[in-house]
Amino acid sequence: MEAIRFSAQVSALSVIGIYPGTFDPLTSGHLDLIERGSHLVDKLIVSVLANEAKQPMFSVEERTEMLRESTSHFTNVEVDSFDGLLVEYASAHGATLLLRGIRAVSDYEYELQMALMNRRLNPKIETVFLMAGESYSFLSSRLVKEVIRLGGDVKDMVPPNVEERLRARLLGATAGKR
């Protein structure tokens, strides 16, 4: 009887996760994490960090729009933006889980420091690290922008809507699609 009561309590819980990032631009690696992360929670909020100190190429509104276009097929994913402390944003949205991607040891060192600070600020929010998919472990927004600038092909590295915007932004509106 006790196990049945416990199961009913667990099924009534709703786990909300936040996947924060700059997403400048959104890559196929980000989409891979969104897809896998969406299976771990009842609702995943992918939230664009409004951090002008990073001097992003795209505005928060543009990044949010690209994310919405690219994630519209996920039924439990919503897109938002935030500034300020992540744990405060997460608390305001009822989130108890932060999703972070790890590509390499260098990512882990930075992400561990952030996770420990977030835990210190709010111990009720857990950070979950997901390893990048093998085919995306090298991929970064910075590298994608560099490849585009140098005329390279990024069609497998970003969604089509993002590639189109990157080409227009970096190569001019007359560059067209590749």
By annotation, the residues acting in catalysis are 30, 54, 103, 141
- Can you give the three-state secondary structure of the chain, one letter per residue? CHHHHHHHHHHHCCCEEEEEECCCCCCHHHHHHHHHHHCCCCEEEEEEECCHHHCCCCCHHHHHHHHHHHHCCCCCEEEEEECCCHHHHHHHCCCCEEEEEECCHHHHHHHHHHHHHHHHHCCCCEEEEEECCHHHCCCCHHHHHHHHHCCCCCCCCCCHHHHHHHHHHHHCHHHCCC
User: Count of alpha carbons within 13 Å of 113, Cβ hemisphere only?
Assistant: 5
- Identify whether the C-beta of residue 39 lies closer than 8 Å to the C-beta of residue 76: no
Please give the Cα distance from 123 to 96 (Å, whole number): 10
